[in-house]
Structure 1
Amino acid sequence: MNDSPAGRRAPTINRQQDIYSKGLGGEKPLVPVDFHELERQGCDAMSPEAYAYIAGGAGLESTMRANRESFDRQRIVPRMLNDVSERDTTVNLFGRTLPSPFMLSPIGVLEMAHGDADQAVGRAAAAEGIPMIFSNQASQPMEQVADAMGDGARWFQLYWSKSDDLVRSLVSRAESCGCEAIVVTLDTTMLGWRTRDLDLAYLPFLRGKGIAQYTSDPVFLESLKNPSQPGNMARPKLSLETLKTLKQIGQSWPGGALDGISSGRAMAAVQEFIAVYSKPSLTWDDLKMLRDHTRLPIVLKGIQHPDDGRKAVDYGMDGIIVSNHGGRQVDGAIGSLEALPEVVEAVAGRVPVIMDSGIRTGADVFKALALGATAVGLGRPWVYGLAIAGEAGVREVIANLKTDFELTMGLSGCKSISEITPEALRRADL
């Protein structure tokens, strides 16, 4: 835990001054500050399949638009003549004091964005002092990323498998590599109807990508000796593309492509992953097993309804993430910011409420905190930074958002997080 004086008070952020000073010598930021340009350059840096997977949403992507519209409907009302010469942006989550109210939301298959993948993101998060939530669908095992982060804060996202033994194994590994919370993602017991991916007929997991937490897990590897039934999967036509895919699957195997292909274990791992990946029959009562298995805080991600917020507390959960998975699961769903106030009211301060989905600017962060969020999760922007410039790109995206938020807070008349309240906002009709 970090509760030193330096950890309790965030230093003044000089990112803006640094950019302008370097500009005197003709140096521009490594990644674009403007989100739209950041996304454009991130798109250019990725394959069409990677960009579709990262940027796309469910159906007509109306939930993605709802996320942004819910921010647009909230307007900041700045207050004047408050002394904001010193600003404290620190927050406390589960005993750790963080310099900013940010964390990196879990995003899988980062190898599609950059070869250094999760380890690059972990190093960037640790350097910027914010927690990274390890993805269950990571490109690198959690132990490798934890080693890369040093003493940086990390949590683990859990997709609840059909195998409770695998669930317990993943959680035990997360505990062993220093994760400080378990984030159970509730809204992805089935994959949403993601039209961009479907039009490209491309799902990375079928090619062995994004399953490193599984192929590094002893329980999962043991299950390959007696595999589950994968269900009715259509066999692809034999072609050069099929052979290329088989090679990709082999390359994903930790023992190397030759061993993975010749032994058949690489393909077996993909098929077993498909068979056990998620549990559509998951209910509230299943949470008891997890509560009995770990002493770590358990955070439920994907809450949108206030009644589910109340039930989370009633079932002994330690935190909530109000999220709609960045609009990737249910088309036509409520924007996360719109859902936030009712969930906060239902929880009534008994557990921290984090919010993600649609955050792009420091003003967005300010609005989420004003409506009751303890902290926010950042998603797509840092993936675009990763695609453009690796670890350094992720760091710049985080630093830009830190500065943007701190300036917004000060210019709105608030010198600490506690002063950011609902009175700072007015709702506007679009």
Structure 2
Amino acid sequence: MDRRNLREFEAAARERLDPAHYDYFAGGAGDEVTVRANEAAFGRLGLVPRVLRGTGKLQTDLTLLESRAAAPVLVAPTAFHRLADPEGERATARAAAATETIMIVSMAATVAIEDVAAAAPGAELWFQLYVQPDLAFTERLVRRAEAAGCRALVVTVDSPVLGRRERDLRNGFHDLPDHLCCENLRDGARGDRVRPIVMWPELSWEHLGALRRMTGLPIVLKGITHPADARLALDHGTSAIMVSNHGGRQLDGVAATIDLLPDIVAEVGGAVPVLLDGGVRRGTDVLKALALGAAAVAVGRPVVWGLAADGERGVAAVLELLRAEVEHALTLCGCASIHDLEPDMVRRPC
């Protein structure tokens, strides 16, 4: 079926997924105010195109932390891809490689990072990490990511406890089916026992320093929403910042990420790239984020919808559709390059 927008991929995915699994991917914390706000906030922003600028050939590619991408759209880390398709993260990685897209592989993937890398030689992979209280285990995870060829660590910092997701509570969805597990949590030092992910309220900037001493990989902090934390991230040697409210899955009521972006961009002052996730559903959303200072955006749920709708081909179709929409919107905004976008090309509500 020819799907013309990401909403149609979501509709197809909802038809094919177990209802509890659809709710796991689609749902958020509490009343899901933040889930809705992430998308709605883009709709309140208006583009202000330029004209008569003879754009010609478009340039959408970029390099982030020495990883090249054909467009300013990354695959955000999302868990449990094998709930959407038997090939799971292997299929997602192959689609990402085919479309020249950076994929951030979740620590809670249902395919081990080594197998994800083997399935898609040449893919640009980053690894998402929850720092664990057992720092020796954390270091073993880091070493596996390094050995698999990951080019950066994306450290999620907004999860001292798990968000209260009422859809999952209502559905009784607590654990993966018996034939699946979080393969990155197999601990070779403990007989390949699968460890739980521990949400750690004591996690602090001090532990980030310990992680920095473990690896030479660039560290991206995912989950920054306050400018003061962006400043602390710079002070602690962070290589990039991802403005994220975890897709509304942690604390309900957090502001939309696109609304938080400008203050964080101003605080960072160009010292490191600022990325954004949350609510991106159109190429025009990508342009708005870039115009307001993001280097790139990441998409999570749309990738899962593509995977559930049509496996590897579905993921590739989602990523290709977003890139085509970015190119189309760039031309209509009078820009030859993603780097031509400026803040005055977005009108914010009064």
TM-score by length of 1: 0.79
- Structure 1 unaligned regions, length at least 5: 1-27, 225-268
Task: Return the alpha-carbon distance in structure 2 between the equivalents of residues 201 and 298 of structure 1.
Answer: 35
- Could you tell me which residue of structure 1 aligns to residue 331 of structure 2? 410
1:55-79 alpha-carbon deviations (Å, 9 max, x no partner):
0011110001111122112100111
**Counterpart contact for 2:33–2:252, Cα < 8 Å:** yes
Does structure 2 retain, via aligned residues, the 8 Å contact 1:56–1:328? yes
Q: In the alignment, residue 343 of structure 2 is paired with which amino acid?
A: P
What amino acid sits opposite 1:178 in the alignment?
A: G
Query: Match for residue 236 of structure 1?
Result: none
Give the one of 196, 209, 212 matched to 2:167: 196
Shift of 1:96: 3.0
Q: Distance in 1 between matches of 2:113 and 2:257?
A: 28
Quick one: which amino acid aligns to residue 380 of structure 1?
Answer: R
The match for 1:115 is 86
- Structure 2, gaps ≥5 residues long: none
The structural deviation recorded for 1:136 is 0.4
Shift of 1:175: 0.5
Question: Which whole-Å CA distance do the structure 2 matches of 1:170 and 1:278 have between them?
Answer: 16
Distance 1:83 1:199 in 2: 55
Per-residue deviation at 1:35? 2.6
Among 73, 96, 101, the alignment partner of 1:125 is 96
Match 2:132 to one of 145, 152, 161: 161
Counterpart for residue 218 of structure 1: 188
Cα distance, 1:206 vs structure 2: 8.1
**2:298 alignment partner, SS class:** strand
Corresponding residue pairs, total: 350
Three-state SS of the structure 1 residue aligned to 2:46 is strand
Cα pair 2:67 2:151 within 8 Å, conserved: no
Q: Indicate conservation of the 8 Å contact 1:165/1:219, yes or no.
A: no
Shift of the 73–310 alpha-carbon distance from structure 1 to 2, 3 Å rule, reads same
Listed as ranges, the matches of 1:195-274 within 5 Å are: 195-205=166-176, 209-215=180-186, 217-221=187-191, 269=194, 272-273=195-196
2:241 corresponds, among 317, 320, 341, to 320
Q: Which residue of 2 aligns with 1:234?
A: none
TM-superposed deviation, 1:154: 0.3
Residue 261 of structure 1: aligned partner: none
The answer on 1:350 being equivalent to 2:255 is: no
Match of 1:420 among 320, 341, 348: 341
Instruction: Tell me the equivalent position of 1:228.
Output: none
Larger radius of gyration between Structure 1 and Structure 2: 1
Find the aligned partners of 2:130 and 2:326 in 1 and give their Cα distance: 31
1:86 to 57, 75, 87: 57
Answering whether residue 301 of structure 2 is matched by residue 389 of structure 1, we say: no
- Runs of 4+ deviating beyond 3 Å: 205-210, 219-222
Deviation at 1:379, TM superposition (A): 1.0
- The one of 359, 368, 371 equivalent to 2:289 is 368
What amino acid sits opposite 1:168 in the alignment? E
Equivalent-residue separation in structure 2 for 1:380 and 1:181 (angstroms):
22
Amino acid at match of 2:264: V
User: Hey, what's the Cα distance between the residues in 2 that align with 1:65 and 1:167?
Assistant: 34
Does 2:119 align with 1:148?
A: yes
What one-letter code is carried by the residue in structure 2 that aligns with 1:61?
E
TM (normalized to structure 2)?
A: 0.97
- Per the TM alignment, residue 39 of structure 1 is displaced from its structure 2 partner at its CA by 1.3
Question: Which whole-Å CA distance do the structure 2 matches of 1:423 and 1:219 have between them?
Answer: 54
1:333 aligns with 254
Equivalent position of 1:246 in the other structure:
none
Q: Give the Å deviation of 1:218.
A: 1.3
